[in-house]
Amino acid sequence: MNAAACNTIFSKTIDDYHLIDQVEAPMNNPFSSDSIEFLLYQKCWVDTVQWHLEDLVRDPAIDPDLGLALKRKIDASNQVRTDLVEQIDDYLLQESSTVPVLPTARINTESPAWAVDRLSILALKIYHMDLEVKRKEASSAHQQRCAAKLSVLIEQRTDLSLSIDQLLAAIRSGSVQMKVYRQMKMYNDVTLNPVLYQQKS
């Protein structure tokens, strides 16, 4: 895995979603279920659906019941996103398990998969900012502002891609020790969220 492969998969995923452009559309992951590509496609699909759920829930005229239902979908989606990031890290941890860790190895501030998570979100930002640049009914001032933002986003993707590749290379050489910490999110856990577990007592 490298950043270029991630970016290619993320672009494909986002394009595939927009063929139907509905949050309930089924995901047809084209990759083998035991591959890293499968996880990357699934991760970006979940991000893409959540992007559109976040748009829907911000409708100022939304029916409160629908708004609450969407908020719960977003909460569930966040848990799935976290689980997928951890599965990607598990894959990479297994891949590097035979690499001797150097005595001088450092520990990175984030795992590779959490950096890849940000790359997936950047792909979505780039896709949607590009739509704003090309939106015919928008003013030229709006298009110019969005074009400037798009340029920054593309630069961010270039820099983040390089950083991810450097991190993966350092892990594979043993100069960075890969460690994975579970997020241990508490709000969806009926044994850890007091609002939920107090209802059971």
* Cα–Cα distance, 11 to 67 (Å, whole number): 29
Question: How much is the average pLDDT of 8-27?
Answer: 96
Residue 200: what pLDDT?
A: 65
Residue 167: what pLDDT?
A: 97
Closest C-alpha to 86, from 108, 116, 107: 116
Dihedral sign (CA 81, 82, 83, 89): positive
Residue 180: what pLDDT?
A: 84
Question: How much is the average pLDDT of 35-45?
Answer: 97
Under the banding of pLDDT at 50, 70 and 90, the label for residue 201 is low
Closest C-alpha to 110, from 95, 92, 127: 92
Question: How much is the average pLDDT of 139-168?
Answer: 97
CA angle (111 as vertex; 52, 166 as ends), nearest 5? 105
* Cα–Cα distance, 166 to 164 (Å, whole number): 5
Question: How much is the average pLDDT of 14-41?
Answer: 96
Question: How much is the average pLDDT of 26-37?
Answer: 96
**Residue that wins the pLDDT comparison between 120 and 187:** 120
Question: How much is the average pLDDT of 12-31?
Answer: 96
Domain that holds residue 135: 3-186
Q: Is 192 a member of any domain?
A: no
Q: Is 197 a member of any domain?
A: no
Q: Is 178 a member of any domain?
A: yes
Q: Is 32 a member of any domain?
A: yes
Question: How much is the average pLDDT of 14-40?
Answer: 96
DSSP string, 82-150: HHHHHHHHHHHHHHTTTSPPPTT-B--SS-HHHHHHHHHHHHHHHHHHHHHHT-TTS-HHHHHHHHHHH
Closest C-alpha to 80, from 88, 32, 26, 108: 88
Q: Are 91 and 39 in contact (CB under 8 A)?
A: yes
| Mean per-residue pLDDT of the chain | 93
Q: Is 63 a member of any domain?
A: yes
Q: Is 198 a member of any domain?
A: no
Question: Mapping DSSP to helix (H, G, I), strand (E, B) and coil, where does residue 176 land?
Answer: strand
Q: Is 195 a member of any domain?
A: no
**Model confidence over 106-149: pLDDT tens digits?**
999 899 999 999 999 999 999 999 999 999 999 999 999 999 99
Q: Each residue of 74-99: b (16+ CB within 10 Å) or e?
A: eeebbeebbebbbbbbebbbeebeeb
Query: Is pLDDT above 80 for 190?
Result: no
**Model confidence over 57-69: pLDDT tens digits?**
999 999 999 999 9
Residue 150: what pLDDT?
A: 98
Q: Is 194 a member of any domain?
A: no
Looking at the 3D structure of the chain, how many domains does it have? 1
**Residue that wins the pLDDT comparison between 195 and 166:** 166
Residue type, 114: W
Closest C-alpha to 45, from 68, 17, 18: 17
